[in-house]
Amino acid sequence: MEKQPASQLVGADRRDEAVVYLEGHGDVHADVNLATLRRKIDRRLMPFMFCCYVLQFLDKVMLNYAAVMGLRTDLKLVGNEFSNTATWFFIAYLIAEVPNVYCLQKVPAAKWLGGNVFLWGIAAAASAGASDYRSLLVARVFLGIFEATVGPSLMLLSSQYYTRSEQAPRFTFWYMGLGVAQILGGIISFAFQHVHHASLEGWRIMFLVLGLVTAIVGTLTFFFIPDTPMKAKWLSEAEKIALLQHVGENQTGVWSTTPNWKQIREAICDIQLWLLTLTTILISVSSGVVTTYSATLIAGFGFSPQISALLNTPGGIVSIFFTLLVGFGIRRTSHRWAWNVLCTIPGIIGGGLLSFLPKSNKAGVLIGIYLVNAIVATLPILYQWTMANCAGHTKRAFASALVAGSFSIGNIIGPQTFQARDAPGYRPAKIAVLATQAAAAVVSVVLFLYYLRQNRRRDQTKGPVDEAKVDEMKWAGLTDRENPNFRYAY
């Protein structure tokens, strides 16, 4: 049977650029070892993606460490002003996700990521010049605007080069930068607390140095990550074809510059995206606590700023352990919902220890703080889950921005649970950690049941299989709802 062009299945303007490339290179024989090809792609992409994620978390968590290095005193912050600087960072982060949807449709994710990494490095360095609450707030707002693209961009890049099962360990690798950043943050803070300069405090020098390093990494990312697999100069024609045919099983497409407003409308009405969004918000409340206040909670035991910074580093080890566990667990067993629930259990236990143990039990409360870090491993699950179950380039761009934006909503709520009137115990904030983790586990089970029902319904209505049409639909620009052959991952 002669293959029907994808342009006849749907409008030609909706075609993915990958199918255009494949049509123009149909005479090239793609006899390529996929394992070798994956390793080659990993070596080229993963170091940049990992560094970007390390730096985006490091630049955020530095405010956490700067708080115990004298920032509050030096800038004369009072009341809830410190919490507000953390909150407004994520408000800016959330607002910036709106133009991100359009920009990620029109500009290659690699270029948009590299440019924004450079600019957030400048904003991070500018924090060193803050002289009061307002100037610090302005610097943090710009940092939030430029960092907003990191999650969506890395999600889209990962989905361009890997199948759904392959994406899980890759998401795990670059997301593991969060735990690494937490460990490095404690060590860096400890080091800069021993730097004494006549005109600059240690926390100012720390912001300046990290900002400049970030700007350099952004420049390298801009020039060394290709716009799409089709434009990767380090891949041969045969390797490009083999890669595109391999990732075609995702049925989510690779790249298209034409915005499809119908796909955005579909995304807005898609219940799975709102369940993913709700789960991300619940998880991120605790993430906001870890990012902004963990060092402050530890310092509340009476430890010096230097020791508080070092005692915060084991939380990064917990984060790395659970991130690796779920990443490779999903690769082998799938069942993202179960791994999501698994990671909330230590978070619930940690929240309980924080909430109900007396402050005199330093060891128990410290263990609680560390256990809460396990829940950050659920975010790469949610990111990868979103990319696996949203097809159509416009819908995927919208979905990635929506989930990343919901991450910021949780981080807006998290710091605001720490009110000055609740110091030094902050018990309402600790109870919020416990409650949100339990709720996230429940919603994860609801998502599983929803996907299971959708797949069973599609299997029951499945008609005769036309292999040629199935193959063409992979690149036809269809969404997960439009493509009857699409099955949801759970």
Query: If you average pLDDT over residues 4-12, what whole number do you get?
Result: 46
Q: Which residue has the higher pLDDT, 139 or 296?
A: 139
Closest CA to 378 of 272, 279, 294: 279
Supply φ then ψ for residue 104, to 5 degrees. Answer: -75, -15
Cα-to-chain-centroid distance, residue 266: 23
* CA–CA distance, 225 with 142 (Å, rounded to integer): 24
Query: If you average pLDDT over residues 339-366, what whole number do you get?
Result: 84
Other C-beta atoms closer than 10 Å to the C-beta of 241 total 23
The reply to whether 378 falls in a domain is yes
pLDDT band at 8 (very low <50, low <70, confident <90, very high): very low
Tell me: pLDDT of 1 over 50. no
pLDDT digits 0-9 by tens, 66-93: 887 888 888 998 888 887 887 888 889 8
Tell me: pLDDT of 2 over 50. no
Tell me: pLDDT of 388 over 90. no
Contact 372, 351 (CB under 8 A): yes
Predicted TM-score (pTM) of this structure: 0.77
The reply to whether 280 falls in a domain is yes
Contact 153, 30 (CB under 8 A): no
Per-residue pLDDT at 299:
76
The reply to whether 196 falls in a domain is yes
* CA–CA distance, 313 with 185 (Å, rounded to integer): 8
The reply to whether 308 falls in a domain is yes
The reply to whether 9 falls in a domain is no
Q: Which amino acid is at 119?
A: L
CA angle (145, 387, 118) in 5-degree steps: 30
Q: Which amino acid is at 199?
A: S
Task: Report how many domains make up the chain.
Answer: 1
Average pLDDT, the chain: 82
Least trusted range by pLDDT, from 234-238, 430-434, 441-445: 430-434
CA angle (124, 174, 396) in 5-degree steps: 95
Per-residue pLDDT at 464:
58
Q: Which residue has the higher pLDDT, 197 or 257?
A: 197
The reply to whether 487 falls in a domain is no
Q: How far is CA 402 from CA 104, 338, 407, in A?
A: 13, 23, 9
Q: Which residue has the higher pLDDT, 253 or 62?
A: 62
What element of type H or E holds 299? helix 271-299
Q: Which residue has the higher pLDDT, 219 or 326?
A: 219
Per-residue pLDDT at 315:
84
The reply to whether 465 falls in a domain is yes
Tell me: pLDDT of 37 over 50. yes
The reply to whether 182 falls in a domain is yes
Domain, as residue range, for 366? 45-231+259-473
Structure token digits, residue 325: 């566990």
Query: If you average pLDDT over residues 225-254, what whole number do you get?
Result: 82
Tell me: pLDDT of 471 over 60. no
CATH of the domain at 178: 1.20.1250.20
Alpha helices in 193-270 (DSSP H): 202-224, 237-247, 261-268
Burial profile 116-129: b = 16 or more Cβ within 10 angstroms, e = fewer: bbbbbbbbbbbbbe
Q: Which residue has the higher pLDDT, 450 or 427?
A: 450
Closest CA to 202 of 214, 191, 217: 191
* CA–CA distance, 309 with 330 (Å, rounded to integer): 33
Closest CA to 230 of 218, 250, 247, 215: 247
Q: Which amino acid is at 118?
A: F
Least trusted range by pLDDT, from 61-65, 144-148, 388-392: 61-65
pLDDT band at 270 (very low <50, low <70, confident <90, very high): very high
Contact 438, 124 (CB under 8 A): no
Q: Is 294 exposed, middle or buried (0-12, 13-18, 19+ CB in 10 A)?
A: buried
Structure token digits, residue 394: 């416009």
Q: Report the percent of the chain where pLDDT is more than 70.
A: 87
Contact 205, 25 (CB under 8 A): no
Q: How far is CA 295 from CA 176, 290, 305, 310, 406, in A?
A: 20, 8, 9, 9, 24
